[in-house]
Structure 1
């Protein structure tokens, strides 16, 4: 079972989230695709994802696609520890509005990287950026 997480590889917040996921996804079911990659463009077409979407997109192994707070909740379903509580995100009032606000301001608040950082050798296979 392999799920795909499309994330903004230039966003410091997103990069931190990827690190958390790598540390708490013991079954290694989540693979990562930078939104800036050619693979992300291919997945946008394949799964009919709006090209304007610049926030996380979670594609489950069964082909279902999730956005915003629902995507974060699906990621949390794959994690262990305290992060499993993130499953409730879509049920919280205004969760997508809060997500949208953070997404709009993520570079200003958390910073922007000039490029996607290179993964370490032990996790490199979980990054799909071709």
Structure 2
């Protein structure tokens, strides 16, 4: 496991979802500051994260962003924070904060419910550097 994982933002995602894996790869490519690590919700690390917070451990339809010892965000809030942390042009996504949370989460949930239909399952093969950013324990 990464020794410095507590200094990173950790993205928890559905490891069996093609759409989720696409977004993990999308973040990895744009993570120029090396701010993120990733863990599937199905992994031992992901299950521990969920159970410690009393969150659902069998349904994996929510993306979480966790900054250890500081906060965790979910759904649309997590996405907005990720884009802000990526910086550059992606910071413009902060404009999404003007949309009430119940509306942005409504659209998040709509995509989440249909994510398996939205993209064919494609195999994500990370390179060596990307593999070093995935927490497997």
Fold shared by both chains (TM-score > 0.5): yes
Question: Secondary structure of 2:16's partner?
Answer: coil
Output the aligned Cα RMSD.
1.9
Residues 84 and 68 (structure 1), Cα distance of their counterparts in 2 relative to 1, 3 Å cut? same
TM-score, normalised with respect to structure 1: 0.85
| 2:35 maps to 1:29 | yes
CA distance in 2, matches of 1:36, 1:104: 18
Q: Mark the runs of 5 or more structure 1 residues left unpaired by the alignment.
A: none
Question: Secondary structure of 1:78's partner?
Answer: helix
| 2:93 maps to 1:99 | no
1:79-118 matches, within 5 Å, as: 79-93=86-100, 94-112=103-121, 117-118=124-125
Contact 2:13 2:60 in 1 (8 A): no
| 2:24 maps to 1:18 | yes
Q: Mark the runs of 5 or more structure 2 residues left unpaired by the alignment.
A: 1-6
1:45-84 matches, within 5 Å, as: 45-51=51-57, 52=59, 54-84=61-91
CA distance in 2, matches of 1:122, 1:38: 22
